Structure 1
């Protein structure tokens, strides 16, 4: 079975910024892993933000950050 990522969502995630807190206005890919793990332990927020935080943790945990950084560079907002 082949997994095909949703290109539109990946582009949106690449440009999505944290809307609140200590890391407000940081791109999600720039958030510290410890912060993302803390969210996982406490429970990700509902909705798009929670989905993107969880996906960002998966991306960072698997060393796939260069993909997001490439998208940011090649498809500026």
Structure 2
């Protein structure tokens, strides 16, 4: 949920940025990113920049739609008024 919430606002983020912002361990974050990638909720770009690996995650339309549906369902469960 944290990854999707962050990417819903930022659109893209590096692995390091997500790790820092979400205060997640490297292993846990890797597993979660892989699961979201398999669900096609985000895309992952891995490359070498200046001899260092750079992993960038980007939310997909499918991911954005799924996250919006999740937030709507959560709002309904909590009995909150819908947001326009």
| TM-score bucket of the superposed structures, by smaller chain | 0.3 to 0.5
Greater strand content: 2
Q: Give TM-score scaled by structure 2 length.
A: 0.35
Q: Looking at CA atoms only, which structure, 1 or 2, has the larger radius of gyration?
A: 2
